[in-house]
Structure 1
């Protein structure tokens, strides 16, 4: 079986197909995300452009590893009452951390739905983000908001936490996804208190906790006594841009490009034409999956708007990417440029 398999990761939609107001950090938005199953449209331009505005992704080796590791942890903790182990996904921006943990959550929830089809009130996954400059109460409120618990400004931290723990246990939560953990600064009092609050949730809830954040080690998540405890209980999976050095690495990158290419709703796009530009695409995007997705989808939208219905090198060249990708590309000459320089040397 290929290491790269198609996996649609889509935003929440309402029954009319329009984007819903609820974000993934609410149970309604999460449920729509898990249940959404779009297909590439063949209709008018607006429908196809709307489809391209969604995040189209494939099942990368990182996603495969995150899902395998987390599901193993979920099974190992079934009879564990304390010191439960968790998982941290960390790396530079644009390497698919949020995509990986939400793919994990979706895969897990769908598996639970298949296993317990009659338990309609079951809510196996919680997805929250750590707010900037968070306090313990702010974090607890994020959990309560996901669960849809009615809160008043008078509710103190203990009341919010107890309501969250009782409700989460009642609805069968067994996987908690916590994004943006780099917002925790253990060197500050509030950051340390939020870390303690997360630890308390992990002790109260019979669930596996999965964190995601930008370079969490540099952010100090493993510093000090609290950090050392996190380091001793959490497995770390690093994310990075796709390499392009060895034949195996190039094949993996080409498979990623091909996977995205097959999702394009273009009427005249020759199959495999983007895969032939794999070196150019890697140079343009620094091997970053987020930049690659943006580049291909943007070029596809332009191909629809200008009526060509297939992506050309000119379409790709016209797309301006993020600063990191543009800086990387500016330091890497194209093969044609390099060959010309060598010929005249």
Structure 2
């Protein structure tokens, strides 16, 4: 390296579905925002210092958030109420939560953020170790893969704790329960629950497997998935012919996370607040007030369709292009060269046509018309 000290960067590669990675997510230090330089200051940097600065900006933009949107805060309030009221003794089944919403809305991010906060609060209140001397792990996070069966689910739980995954489903369950009790785990976050027993399995089979979880593990279960309720898992079974569905429905609180909408003034104000919040976090030399919230508001809404993940992917990629090209700001010309997810792009033309025709806008009535910043 010719005497030059290597620069590792702030990339944090870990899996939250393993305890060491989850602990890194829970207790990892907050990222430090890179300094905001002018173009002149960027020009004064030595070549290596500029590469380091740009590297820091790129990883910063890729990891903005979680942002406390009204949707996220409302969801976390509901989760707090459910979890903190579930102080039942071990002989009682704790009610569960099912967060069922479309992809790309930030479900996993919002729930993991809640789990992170709950984990930290419990450790702060009760200590890092249990009375028996084990590490305290108030929350675990696992994500399922296609066609997961009960044994695979129990294996995922054991794998999170770093336990052996040999044996049948019952052996794995016993092993996992011992870990739950010794580490004082109170909450399981189970992501991609729609993969349980395969996407085409019937609702009774899924209900039976989720009922098994509730009966075996003395924790609050937070399920996160897509299209789970469409199977009738919470609505059917109350006639008495399908008791499995009835029992699961009575024990489960349905929650959702909605996309941003601009059909009314409140929705438009919330969209503007989100863009202003993101804008403040960006580190671009030619960033200016209103770059997102005024000049790109309708454009970003049309391209993201109000889905948080699509919006953040657009902005992250736009910032990367702005840095590497030397453009140092976001505008339509640059953003038109940025690719986004297929679902957002499919809905883009219809939204753009409505905006152009004056049938829809993302800007509140109090906002002035667009005043584009000249190049």
Please state which band the TM-score falls in when normalised by the shorter chain.
0.7 to 0.9
Alignment of 1:265-344 (within 5 A): 265-276=283-294, 277-333=296-352, 337-338=356-357
**1:150 counterpart = 2:164:** yes
CA contact (8 A) 2:66 2:113 kept: no
Structure 1 CA distance, aligned partners of 2:274 and 2:353? Answer: 21
TM-aligned CA deviation for residue 189 of structure 1: 7.3
- 2:268: which partner in 1? 250
Instruction: Report Cα offsets for 1:176-235 as digits up to 9, x if no partner.
Output: 101111123599779856653443332333321111111211244335533332221111
Alignment of 1:62-77 (within 5 A): 62-77=71-86
Length-normalised TM-score, structure 1: 0.85
CA contact (8 A) 2:99 2:256 kept: yes
- 1:7: which partner in 2? none
Length-normalised TM-score, structure 2: 0.79
- 1:111: which partner in 2? 121
- 1:31: which partner in 2? 23
1:183 to 190, 195, 208: 195
- 2:179: which partner in 1? 167
Structure 2 CA distance, aligned partners of 1:215 and 1:197? Answer: 17
1:204 to 216, 219, 239: 216
Q: Which SS does the other structure have where 2:142 is aligned? A: strand
Structure 2: segments with no counterpart, 5+ residues: 1-7, 36-51, 359-375
- 2:255: which partner in 1? 237
Instruction: Report Cα offsets for 1:17-37 as digits up to 9, x if no partner.
Output: 4433x4111111111111221
Structure 1, 167-176 or 192-201: larger mean CA deviation: 192-201
Structure 1, 99-108 or 312-321: larger mean CA deviation: 312-321
Q: Which SS does the other structure have where 1:236 is aligned? A: strand
- 1:125: which partner in 2? 139
TM-aligned CA deviation for residue 172 of structure 1: 0.8
Structure 1 CA distance, aligned partners of 2:201 and 2:353? Answer: 50
Instruction: Report Cα offsets for 1:271-300 as digits up to 9, x if no partner.
Output: 332011222211111101011001111111
2:148 to 117, 134, 141: 134
Structure 1 pair 185–167 and aligned structure 2 pair: CA distance change class (3 A): closer
Instruction: Report Cα offsets for 1:112-131 as digits up to 9, x if no partner.
Output: 12212443710001111222
Structure 1: segments with no counterpart, 5+ residues: 1-14, 340-345
CA contact (8 A) 1:26 1:146 kept: yes
2:245 to 221, 224, 227: 227
Q: Which SS does the other structure have where 1:105 is aligned? A: helix
**1:41 counterpart = 2:34:** yes
Q: Which SS does the other structure have where 1:33 is aligned? A: helix
Structure 2 CA distance, aligned partners of 1:178 and 1:289? Answer: 21
CA contact (8 A) 1:87 1:210 kept: yes
Q: Which SS does the other structure have where 1:275 is aligned? A: coil
CA contact (8 A) 1:40 1:264 kept: no
CA contact (8 A) 1:185 1:221 kept: no
Q: Which SS does the other structure have where 2:100 is aligned? A: strand
Radius of gyration: which is bigger? 2
Instruction: Report Cα offsets for 1:97-156 as digits up to 9, x if no partner.
Output: 11121111111111112212443710001111222111111110000001111233xx12
- 1:102: which partner in 2? 112
CA contact (8 A) 1:127 1:176 kept: yes
Q: Which SS does the other structure have where 2:260 is aligned? A: coil
Q: Aligned Cα RMSD in Å?
A: 2.5
